[in-house]
Structure 1
Amino acid sequence: MIVRHLSVCKGGQILGRWSKSWKTVPLQGNQTRRNCSSLDQTRNEERKYEEVRIPVPWGHIAGKWWGPKNKQPVLAMHGWLDNANSFDPLMKLMPSNFSLLSLDLPGHGLSSHYPAGIPHHLTEDIVSLRRIIKHFGWQKVSFLCHSMGSTYAFIYSAIYPKEVNKLVGLDILRPFEMTAEFYAKNGGNYIDKYIETIQNTREPPESTLEDFAKRQHEGSKKSISVESSRILMERGAYQSKSKPGLIGLRRDVRLKVTFLHNLPHEYLIELASRIRCEVYNIKAKGGMYYEKKSHYKQTIEVLKKVAKAMQYFEVDGTHHTHLNTPENVVDIVKDIFCDDIA
């Protein structure tokens, strides 16, 4: 079941309700979307993606480029401790002429880790995102992102408001919230925890794919299915050199300290007020909130006033519904990116 909530464009224009058959949806003035039903709907099950390596000063950022290379792709970013494989199930349901570059964020998947001693902070990751966009020379970009990736796209859309066409957040839309009081009271403890983590934490011993998949399933509070965990492990793990049949985790252990990714609500509202692109939030009914729901709704209301378009959807599934049950979101994603599929 998919629920479409009332959404308002800039200027107060009301958007129509979403249904599984495409409806022409007014955006602004006389601008309208195309009907996607007439476009190429060939799926990607049998097609191969192309591996991409983008040079950065500390190594490279890896990615998977799905679809044609002769047109600019939609840029996809995964969630915390996931990787570029997060979008594989969804891409296998998308038309073959839809172009998407799914990234491994630094420290994830096949991407290089940051230099030793550097903590993972959202500023560094957004700088990395800027490097990628400049590397390709793209003047404007569109985002399809999940969780942590959505938070980066949200900030990027606010600080480069003229350089983003569309922002699609899967479950999460805005950065995670933290009060100024909490930061002042607990900041020192978290910094010490970070240093201790780097000095003492080791990844679990090498084990079987099934063991790691079950651990990730349980560790995510069953948000990630066991089958989806296997998909992520295909890219997020390495084959043991000394123990045939066993794998180990590639991820950067520094990612386990996430405190430095959170921002005060007032800051997030200011960022939202600067976003001008089309914004879409596909929220899972069994998804997650990292703030008061009233604060999340306030962000949506701000975006309705300032963004070119703001649409909010609710779909069945968990925080990882795009990975576990991509059929819950694929028709919405196809409609949003109708022009990019042409």
Structure 2
Amino acid sequence: MTLPVEEVRLSLPHIELAAHLYGPEDGRPVLAVHGWMDNAMSFARLIPKLRGLRIVAVDLAGHGHSDHRPPGAGYSLWDNVYDLLQVAEQFGWQRFSLLGHSMGAIVATLLAGSLPQRVERLALIDAIIPHTVAPEEAPGELAKALEAQLAFDARRKRVHATFEKAVEARMKARVPVNREAAELLAQRGVMPVPGGYIWRTDSRLTLPSPVRFTLPQALAFVRRLACPVKLIMPSAGMLKKTSGAEALLRSLSIEISELPGGHHLHLEDEAGAQAVADCFNRFFQAT
């Protein structure tokens, strides 16, 4: 199945983002938000299977074809939340839905929990709240982040001899994907440089977060949601591998569907993408 896609540049007041624009102009407005170190191609298999939606699939700052944040700036979750809100403003969307995977699902939840009056529906894949820490761990988390920033050297970006080597590197990354998924992400994420190819993603995205929410703080965003929520939980995904996560999720007022597959089930093969699309089509079309 194919769906016409338009490449757009979004000049926000503070940064320029790139995005793919899909679907009929009168469709339900949806912002699609990819995961950490991915890009808008994360949804290349899923979005053509969704019906009746006007989807803006963004490259988050520092990913894909979007600008990197300026020197001295970081990549906090709430900065991404603000970017998404500005994208909605640019399209004139006072009410919109969110589709998020992994980190993108977390960012979407934070936005929907912060401004519940703006969000109609929340569709999530394998994540909902960020990694949390106990209050007494906060100083150590900040110390670790500060030390990492002092030691950071942007010149260390790895150059791969061939495009294929860059693809293979993504297959073996911290969050691995199969070859088909890596090749799709590489279409938007890899660029030629002298001596080979590099991934466009900003190396600062690998730095540890200086501040993390406590569990009560993170759950406060979920409990403030005022829209229907659909969470896809892959059988071999991250949520299933996180101790205590499933029991916690079952205690929340959200709709959960478990599907076979891994963390990138919507991208790695057509069957996984179709299974996710079937769930989300029913979700978005429900009255």
**What is the TM-score when the length of structure 1 is the normalising length?**
0.77
Provide the rounded CA distance (Å) in 2 between the counterparts of 1:196 and 1:82: 25
Name the % identity. Answer: 26
**SS of the residue aligned with 2:44?**
helix
Alignment of 1:167-178 (within 5 A): 167-178=122-133
Distance verdict in 2 for CA 1:292–1:92, change over 3 Å: closer
2:137 is the counterpart of 1:187: no
Counterpart pick for 1:205 among 143, 159, 166: 159
Provide the rounded CA distance (Å) in 1 between the counterparts of 2:73 and 2:82: 14
Counterpart pick for 2:20 among 64, 72, 75: 64
Residue 259 of structure 2: aligned partner = 315
**SS of the residue aligned with 2:251?**
helix
Q: How many Å apart are 1:94 and its aligned residue?
A: 3.2
Q: How many Å apart are 1:261 and its aligned residue?
A: 6.5
Code of the residue aligned with 1:322 in structure 2: it is: H
Provide the rounded CA distance (Å) in 1 between the counterparts of 2:285 and 2:145: 44
Alignment of 1:182-331 (within 5 A): 182-197=137-152, 199=153, 202-220=156-174, 222=176, 224-240=177-193, 242=194, 246-260=196-210, 262-289=212-239, 293-294=243-244, 297-302=247-252, 304=253, 310-325=254-269, 326-331=273-278
Code of the residue aligned with 1:62 in structure 2: it is: A
Q: Deviations over 1:107-159 (max 9, x none)?
A: 10011111111111112111111211122221111111100011111111111
Does the 8 Å contact 1:53/1:61 carry over to 2?
Answer: yes
Does the 8 Å contact 2:9/2:18 carry over to 1?
Answer: yes
Provide the rounded CA distance (Å) in 2 between the counterparts of 1:203 and 1:257: 13
Provide the rounded CA distance (Å) in 2 between the counterparts of 1:153 and 1:229: 24
Residue 161 of structure 1: aligned partner = 116
Provide the rounded CA distance (Å) in 2 between the counterparts of 1:289 and 1:211: 30
Does the 8 Å contact 2:145/2:208 carry over to 1?
Answer: no
**Aligned length, in residue pairs:** 284
RMSD after superposition = 2.2
**SS of the residue aligned with 1:259?**
coil
Distance verdict in 2 for CA 1:301–1:285, change over 3 Å: same
Code of the residue aligned with 1:49 in structure 2: it is: V
2:35 is the counterpart of 1:79: yes
**SS of the residue aligned with 1:337?**
helix
Q: How many Å apart are 1:248 and its aligned residue?
A: 1.7
Provide the rounded CA distance (Å) in 2 between the counterparts of 1:311 and 1:136: 29
Counterpart pick for 2:91 among 136, 147, 150: 136
Does the 8 Å contact 1:122/1:261 carry over to 2?
Answer: no
Provide the rounded CA distance (Å) in 1 between the counterparts of 2:175 and 2:219: 29
**What is the TM-score when the length of structure 2 is the normalising length?**
0.91
Q: How many Å apart are 1:299 and its aligned residue?
A: 4.7
Provide the rounded CA distance (Å) in 2 between the counterparts of 1:55 and 1:92: 26
Q: Deviations over 1:270-306 (max 9, x none)?
A: 222211110111011111139964355335423x2xx
Provide the rounded CA distance (Å) in 2 between the counterparts of 1:162 and 1:297: 28
Provide the rounded CA distance (Å) in 1 between the counterparts of 2:119 and 2:175: 34
Distance verdict in 2 for CA 1:93–1:76, change over 3 Å: same
Does the 8 Å contact 1:207/1:248 carry over to 2?
Answer: no
Does the 8 Å contact 2:123/2:231 carry over to 1?
Answer: yes
**Higher relative contact order at CA 8 Å, sep ≥6: structure 1 or structure 2?**
1
